[in-house]
Amino acid sequence: MHKQQVDALVIGFGKGGKTLAGFMAQKGWEVAVIEKSKQMYGGTCINIACIPSKSLSHSAEQAARRHFATFLEKQDVYQNAVEDKEQLVTFLRGANYAKLNQNPHVSVIDGMATFLSPNEVRVDLDGSDQMIIEAKHIFINTGTLPHLPPIAGLTESEHVYTSTSMMNLSQLPEELVIIGSGHIGLEFAAMYAAFGSHVTVLHRGNLFLPDHDRDIADAVKTTIEKQGIQFHLQANVLQIADRDERASITYVDQTQTRRTLTADAVLIATGRVPNTQSLDLAQAGVEVDEYGFIKVDEFLRTTAPNIWALGDINGGPQFTYISLDDFRIIRDQLFGDGQRSQLSRRNVPSSLFIYPTLSWAGLSETEARHQGYEVKVATLPAGAIPRTRQVAHTDGLLKAIVDAKTKRILGCFLFSEDSSEVINLVSIAMNAGLDYRVLRDNIFTHPSMSEGLNDLFTQIS
């Protein structure tokens, strides 16, 4: 059995891991990167998440502006969008692979990794071949997988999809049922409704967007219902069964009445689980939490002193930009002053890519009041911003929460066109500790969505 010794071993080709591998190679370290699937070079974001979903979402938004005479015309547009998405993903996957594989200090190895000790990993290669890699430093970057809830008939149905398999569906479903209304469920609901599917979302809880203030959540729900998406709250799905080339979904509603829906496709969007099954973490002394995510300290060290975990696998926010920041934390541990940590993160912006996009940073009004702040709150209809009239996207609501004593921004929620860009400005202002009046009185270009911040913060007296 072949044995290879390296300075650093990265398990998983995700955003944080690949960036770290390249940086360590620049420092002269010998690095090995293990990836079990040739379809995952570059990680989740490039191959099965952000990039392909946003590509389809962009195509869907364009499709929604057109008036099709038949569903067949919608089908053609959808198929073209899937082909465009696949071309983009293939290009980016290849570029990411080449960037590391062409580096003389990096070895990209296709195979399945299993720990033998804190410093040794066995790699099962194609066929029956194996090799052992011994490394001084090991970084786990294996990401997550879709969670499949224990619903009768789910695994047997030919019409059930996850967020991964759904994006490779070549036929646009006329009827789509989505189980789950988190980020993934809502983004797919908006996307497929825009393409022309009839979408129904089954949500087990009794509150829509439970982590948001009710005025924001209500504005979102009202807007996407106008787009033809139906919601059923407190829906407990009991069974999925295939009948007459369609799926039959049986659930109990909020009145405990048993109901049935039929659909061409069912998307399971009930969260994601850690991808650690093959690693045998116990052999390395790496502990996991009650949900199976790898335990890390604020510097992303695991319970094994020479092993770190970065990206979704460590149980932090599951965003590619957080994975990139995980890289920065580890880079600082290895080559910097060691001060950067997860505690350095403040007011991290987030976006939910529906139509329009919902973006936020900081505390909600409910959270701020619960934490004892005396707050001032401003709201502004998105339609009050001239830019929304210009692009004919007037739906939405903007909201800001300000500390009445310090005049600093505690939180901001933007349900509007281009909010994923504008929220970054607000996050920077918040992290800089700026008085809200800086944004109120700043000179922005016109017409732009950014100038809406002038009007929003003018509402604070």
- 183 part of the active site: no
**Count of C-beta atoms within a 10 Å radius of residue 357:** 22
Q: What is the secondary structure of 188-206 as a DSSP string?
A: HHHHHHHHT-EEEEE-SSS
- No. of helices (H) and no. of strands (E), the chain: 13, 22
Contact assessment for residue 384 and residue 390, using Cβ atoms and an 8 Å cutoff: no
Distance CA 25, CA 100 (A): 9
Marked catalytic residue, from 2, 147, 370, 446: 446
Q: Are strands 397-403 and 409-415 parallel, antiparallel or unpaired?
A: antiparallel
Distance CA 82, CA 59 (A): 9
What separation in angstroms does the CA of 264 have from each of 59, 208, 249, 422, 440?
21, 25, 11, 38, 49
DSSP annotation of 10: E
Distance CA 353, CA 189 (A): 10
**Count of C-beta atoms within a 10 Å radius of residue 133:** 24
Distance CA 413, CA 216 (A): 8
DSSP annotation of 185: H
Cα 185-311-20 angle, rounded to 5 deg: 140
> Tokens 């080559």, residue?
335
Distance CA 68, CA 392 (A): 19
Cβ contacts of 263 within 8 Å, gap of 6 or more: 159, 173, 175, 176, 177, 200, 246, 247, 249
Q: What single letter denotes the amino acid at residue 166?
A: M
Annotated catalytic residues are 446
